[in-house]
Amino acid sequence: MARPQPDRVAEPVQQRVRIRYAKRGRLRFASHRDFQRALERAIRRAGVPIAFSAGFSPHPRISYANAAPTGAASEAEYLEIGLTRPVAMERLRAALDAALPDGMDVLEAVEARTPDLADRLQASVWLLEVFDLPVADVCAAAEALMASPAVEVSRMTKQGLRTFDVRGALARLECGPGADCAILRGVIRHTTPAVRPDDVLQALTVLGLPESPTRFTRLAQGPLADDASDVGDPLAVDRV
């Protein structure tokens, strides 16, 4: 019988790094678990001095914050890693970006100088491209949604079927024409349970808009502006 191995002693974290990355093209269909596996492979391939937790089954010190749903593209996903020794930020960013598949792109790496990144992710800016419907009809439904006191939708979650108010989470929703579609730009507060862009689309169908092909892209996430028209940069305080 094999002798049990002793618990691993964790190496101290010497540097914490916050990373903004994008999911683009076909990689928007990759699940969050797919990205986790790809990132851990990229960290090994790039020789990043990642810190591990202690115990019998140590794990790399990686914290993810508010990942976009599968099927949505994003320009603003965030994570934090702990390192056993300091590294240069641009060198780390370039090495991880080169080791990840095309479409999973590391956009920025900054040293963490403040606590509680997740608390600064208060809202997201989403782009919804609605195809095969007249722009006027989409915009009329968007106006009706914003004029409503509440619009509830239901969705199956890990906790079962949940019903929640989409209108209450919408800080702003604008509509206009795109090249070959109607464009909706929404600022969605991060609530519990989270309201997703497909929930906004479902709310529009509740108000009478026919179902149609739609593409979702998260443009930004961060602290909500005072007038709720946009979100700020959550890494700005770490660059000071």
pTM check: above 0.85:
yes
Q: pLDDT digit string (tens) for 29-45?
A: 999 999 999 999 999 99
The C-alpha atoms of residue 194 and residue 82 are separated, in whole angstroms, by 27
**Three-state SS at 70:** coil
Q: pLDDT digit string (tens) for 121-140?
A: 999 999 999 999 999 999 99
Residue numbers of the chain with a pLDDT score lower than 50:
1-2
The C-alpha atoms of residue 77 and residue 224 are separated, in whole angstroms, by 16
> Given this model, what pLDDT does residue 56 score?
80
Alpha carbon of 101 to those of 26, 64, 110: distances in Å? Answer: 11, 19, 21
| Residue 71 per-residue DSSP state | T
185 in Cβ contact with 173 (< 8 Å): yes
Ordered domains of the chain (ranges, CATH): 15-119 (3.30.70.580), 122-222 (3.30.70)
> Given this model, what pLDDT does residue 1 score?
44
